[in-house]
Amino acid sequence: MKEEFFTYTLPNGIRGIHRNIKSGAARCALIIGAGSRDEIPTEYGIAHFVEHGLFKGTTHRKAYQVNCRLENLGGELNAFTTKEDTTVHATVLRSDFSKAVELLSDVVFNSIFPDKELDKEREVIVDEINTYKDSPMDMIYDTFEDMIFEGSELGHNILGRKRDLMRHNSAAMHCFVDRTHTTDQMVFASIGNISNNRIEQIANRYFASHEATTRTYARTAPNPYKQFNKELVKHTHQAHCIIGNRAYSITEDKRLPFSLLINILGGPCANSRLNVNVRERNGLSYNIEASYTPYSDCGMAVIYFSSEHDNADHCREIIDNEIRKLQDIQLTTRQLAMAKRQYIAQMTISTEANEGYMLGIGRSLLVHGEVDTLEEAYKKINAVTASQILEVANEIFTNNSTLIYR
């Protein structure tokens, strides 16, 4: 594919991508294109429960053996679930890399989901749900997403509900895994000081023997939704508010100019327009941010802030004004150049976090079938025009929906 990456495909359809770097540590991940979006209504919460269940024993190991295998070596094994993916990843010393890959293969393909262990893990997830309910900032995001994707499988919480968890047993989890964890929807990503030939040998040794499987269903794109403005009484110390809309999918060309727009509007830097005007100039909010989540066939863009209850309306006025500026006034040549330089620098610095970079290239290969090198990404960013940013600002941030907790 590209010199920066080494890619390969195993006989059973699992794709691999590796980046060879100088490092004493090595990282790897098996990224599976199955998440909460792939649940049917009777399965809500099961994708995340499966993620937990992967650590509860295999045909070769007890739960404590899974959990101690890499930790005893000073390494780490972990996993997470999103709406569209489940990822199991490990970090170890370079000399222990084969052990990490063998363990990933074991937990993904040989987990037995013993009911006795699941009964205990159910309580852990209930505690996770309760923790999330104690965080209005987390909860409002999920509530907003439920509303903006109402009627779609994207519109329910990843953790599920307590009553859902009670009916998920070992048989149900095996059924979900058999239907969704297919080898044509898997990517093995790795990064470390290991040769390309050695990586492919290790991947073949531990993954290639598993039967080739193919997804037999297709995801359904969400239907259009009706704009809403809703206020919920939560008796929180602060007002929490989200303003947002549907946005571009991960495969659309407009995704890049829109990502740049989001960074200008409310990205992580202190000079984002919302941070400058809401926090620095007016002292109205400690937490304010804009974010964009692209999915395979749609996306979501939101602006979130928390503030004193009496300041919420003022915050919204400032946010609306900043959006209108981006919709009505084209960026100057200097403003656009500075925005691109900042975005490129952020991207470059983020690649120094090897784990995040590895997961990013793995998911890119899963979704797009290819991965841009940094140089190619820079060219695409530098090709974005001021008129494109104006266009996407008007397409996405018109007829916004609002959700507020008070």
Tell me: do 262 and 371 sit in the same domain. yes
Tell me: do 190 and 289 sit in the same domain. no
Taking residue 300's Cβ as centre, other Cβ atoms within 10 Å add up to 22
Q: What is the 3-state secondary structure (H, E, C) of the chain?
A: CCCCCEEEECCCCCEEEEEECCCCEEEEEEEECCCHHHCCHHHCCHHHHHHHHCCCCECCCCHHHHHHHCHHHCCEEEEEECCCCEEEEEEEEHHHHHHHHHHHHHHHHHECCCHHHHHHHHHHHHHHHHHHHCCHHHHHHHHHHHHHCCCCCCCCCCCCCHHHHCCCCHHHHHHHHHHHCCHHHEEEEEEECCCHHHHHHHHHHHHCCCCCCCCCCCCCCCCCCCCCEEEECCCCCCEEEEEEEEECCCCCCCHHHHHHHHHHHHCCCCCCHHHHHHHHCCCCCCCEEEEEEECCCCEEEEEEEEECHHHHHHHHHHHHHHHHHHHHCCCCHHHHHHHHHHHHHHHHHHCCCHHHHHHHHHHHHHHHCCCCCHHHHHHHHHCCCHHHHHHHHHHHCCCCEEEEEC
Establish if 216 belongs to a structural domain.
no
Establish if 331 belongs to a structural domain.
yes
Tell me: do 35 and 183 sit in the same domain. yes
Tell me: do 251 and 181 sit in the same domain. no
pLDDT, residue 1, reads 44
Amino acid at 78: N
Let me know: does 29 contact 192? Beta carbons within 8 Å: no
Tell me: do 169 and 309 sit in the same domain. no
Q: What is the CATH number of the domain that holds 284?
A: 3.30.830.10
Tell me: do 176 and 235 sit in the same domain. no
Tell me: do 287 and 325 sit in the same domain. yes
Establish if 214 belongs to a structural domain.
no
Report the candidate in 76, 68, 65 with the shortest Cα–Cα distance to residue 27. Answer: 76
Q: Is the dihedral of CA 188, 189, 194, 195 positive or negative?
A: positive
- The conformation of residue 351, written as its DSSP 8-state character, comes to T
Report the candidate in 111, 112, 76 with the shortest Cα–Cα distance to residue 92. Answer: 76
Let me know: does 31 contact 189? Beta carbons within 8 Å: yes
Tell me: do 125 and 245 sit in the same domain. no
In angstroms, the CA 141 to CA 242 distance is 7
Tell me: do 233 and 164 sit in the same domain. no
In angstroms, the CA 264 to CA 290 distance is 9
pLDDT, residue 132, reads 86
Establish if 105 belongs to a structural domain.
yes
Report the candidate in 53, 42, 36 with the shortest Cα–Cα distance to residue 118. Answer: 53
CA atoms lying within 13 Å on the CB side of residue 254: 15
Q: Is the dihedral of CA 367, 370, 371, 377 positive or negative?
A: negative
Tell me: do 246 and 163 sit in the same domain. no
Segments forming the whole domain that contains residue 136: 6-207
Tell me: do 200 and 269 sit in the same domain. no
Establish if 217 belongs to a structural domain.
no
Establish if 218 belongs to a structural domain.
no
Establish if 163 belongs to a structural domain.
yes
Per-residue pLDDT of the chain (406 residues; tens, 9 = 90+): 456 899 999 999 999 999 999 999 999 999 999 999 999 999 999 999 999 999 999 999 999 999 999 999 999 999 999 999 999 999 999 999 999 999 999 999 999 999 999 999 999 999 999 998 889 999 999 999 999 999 899 999 999 989 889 999 999 999 999 999 999 999 999 999 999 999 999 999 999 999 999 999 999 999 999 999 999 999 899 999 999 999 999 999 999 999 999 999 999 999 999 999 999 999 999 999 999 999 999 999 999 999 999 999 999 999 999 999 999 999 999 999 999 999 999 999 998 999 999 999 999 999 999 999 999 999 999 999 999 999 999 999 999 999 999 9
User: How many domains is the chain partitioned into structurally?
Assistant: 2
Establish if 224 belongs to a structural domain.
no
Tell me: do 187 and 237 sit in the same domain. no
